[in-house]
Amino acid sequence: MEFVRLEVEDGVGTIRLDRPKMNAISFQVQAELRTVAEEAAGRDDVKAVVLYGGERLFAAGNDVKEMADLSFADMVARRDSVQAAVTAVARIPKPVVAAVTGYALGGGCELALAADLRIAAEDATLGQPEVLLGLIPGAGGTQRLARLVGPSKAKDLIFTGRFVKADEALAIGLVDRVVPSADVYTEAVAWARQFTGAASYAIRAAKEAIDQGLGVDLATGLEIEQVRFAAVFGTEDARTGMASFVENGPGKAAFTGR
């Protein structure tokens, strides 16, 4: 991988974007991001994932220069790849946190939206400014943003293309925590690290139930939960966890991730 890499330490995998100057998300970056996300999903030594663009910024958006001369037919041929990278991140069956520094705009914001949690720097700026280029978000922004902050707030941000500072992003639920810039990555890793000894299949089942349930009616969502709930009874961790609870009380089980 030239611009995206997976760094693993003590059970936490960091998906690191590193494409100078602004981490613009080109078609190559999308392909690399998809590959690395699939690697993180499949590796047993990765229990949780941090998305990180570096100390200066997260990602300033898709590579507009690369798209400027594309025709309708060109984009039809490429449209699946535009969403595939972000979808691959969203489907990582482990806790994923975005460590947002500097700018997370356009495709960068959409990438952050694919995480389960977003920790932002005090000076971070987020937004979906595609309409200012005569476009709309194409990597899930219209869908994930509306589900996260509600349709009216999403429409305000997408229709106007305006940028959102960290304090407003926190107030509307676009990010979950705001910390000093120097602490963003450390805080994200600390959040991810709490899952390194967790019951991995239970976490996976819970994430799948929540994510899949968001797209269906309540009755169907409850069915999804029921299936996942029954399934975890087939894991060693469930037997270990319940036995530990009976003998020692909550929070003392030593899980193996099986």
pLDDT along the chain (258 residues), means of 10: 96 97 95 97 97 97 87 82 92 98 98 98 98 95 97 98 98 98 98 96 97 96 97 96 94 92
CATH 3.90.226.10 domain locations along the chain: 4-193
User: How many C-beta atoms lie closer than 10 Å to residue 150's C-beta?
Assistant: 13
Classify domain 200-248 by CATH number.
Answer: 1.10.12.10
What is the predicted pLDDT for the residue at 82? 78
User: Domain 4-193: which CATH class?
Assistant: alpha beta
CATH 1.10.12.10 domain locations along the chain: 200-248
Per the CB < 8 A criterion, the answer to whether 148 and 113 are in contact is yes
Query: Residues 6 or more apart from 122 whose CB is under 8 A from it?
Result: 166, 178, 179, 180, 181
What is the predicted pLDDT for the residue at 67? 85
What is the predicted pLDDT for the residue at 246? 96
What is the predicted pLDDT for the residue at 75? 84
